Structure 1
Amino acid sequence: MKGLFLKIGLPLLVLSTISFGILYFFDIDVAKILKKNEHSVDAQIERSINTELLTTNLSSDHFAVVQFNIVLDSKKAYEEVEKRNPEVRAAIISSLANKTKEDLRGAKGIKSLQDSVKQKIESFMTEGKIERILVTEFKIQ
């Protein structure tokens, strides 16, 4: 029994002591990290805005129907973007007005649109940043 403790128990005891020492030395709050991960989806939902469905002309003879979900990095940023709804709509419309049907094809086209909209919205934001923009509805006719 004593030999088993020396082979397994002692190394585990030393390893756990070193681990707790590192956590204490760097002042790492494990409970806070676990809680943050646990509520990250709920927190994102609280900071995300769904735009209304927008229909606008493209630079070609086509039109696009789009809807976005905008996830912001803070509650203040959420409140600001919510208040600036007309500017958000204008940023989306102007981003689409410069595009053709071919520009919006495939994943590359959607990524380009997301980047363009993100850049335009962040240009007038004074509180926080956009974490990500998702295209949730997309049709070209």
Structure 2
Amino acid sequence: MVKNKLLTIMLIIISAITLVGTTAFIVLMKFPGDEEQKEPSIDEVVEATVEIPEITTKLKTKGYIRISFNIQTDSKKAKEELEKRGFQVQNILIKELSEMTLEQFDGEEGISSLENKLKDRINELMQEGTIVSVYATSFLPQ
């Protein structure tokens, strides 16, 4: 009698462990979780990018700069919002550029620094998505 109870309890425990293991296996196979995110195609990038027309503004020290940008968003909704915020983006550009000197634009590092700063500042405005990248598309210090 005691052996039968012990055998029954062992079978129940083994069945429960097998059931939990099988369920965990199925869940992990169905929902892998951290899937590798694939890079967007160039068509998707272009579809979510806003072109900022060339602006000319005075720098902090002597000199002017003519510069234009393309800003990549993470979605169509974010692109639409960014297009509506065009005047705010231009205001940020003018403010950031007016605090810079010609020397800060020497080399790739200067432009990359400006692109990253603009990305952060514009992301503070965004409500429908985020800015993925800012690309300087023309650059002419004078």
Instruction: Return the TM-score normalized by structure 2.
Output: 0.73
SS state at 1:134 partner: strand
Any unmatched runs of 5+ in structure 1? 1-23
Q: Give the Å deviation of 1:120.
A: 1.5
State how far apart, in whole Å, the 1-side matches of 2:30 and 2:59 are: 54
Structure 2 counterpart of 1:61: 62
Match of 2:29 among 6, 25, 28: 25
Name the structure 2 match of 1:43.
44
Structure 2 regions of 5+ residues with no counterpart? 1-27
Structure label with greater radius of gyration: 2
2:139 corresponds to which residue?
138
Is 2:92 the partner of 1:96? no
Q: How many residue pairs end up in the alignment?
A: 113
Distance in 1, Cα, partners of 2:131 & 2:121: 11
CA RMSD of aligned residues (A): 2.1
CA contact (8 A) 2:119 2:132 kept: no
**Which residue identity is paired with 1:123?**
E
Matched, 1:127 2:123: no
| Aligned mates of 2:64, 2:120 — CA distance in 1 | 22
Q: Distance in 1 between matches of 2:96 and 2:128?
A: 22
Inter-CA distance 60–44: structure 2 relative to 1 (3 Å threshold): same
Q: Aligned residue for 2:109?
A: 108
Question: Which amino acid is 1:60 matched to?
Answer: T
Give, in whole Å, the separation in 1 of the partners of 2:42 and 2:127: 25
The residue identity in structure 2 corresponding to 1:130 is: I
1:125 positional shift: 1.0
Letter in 2 for 1:46: E
Q: CA deviation at 1:27?
A: 5.0
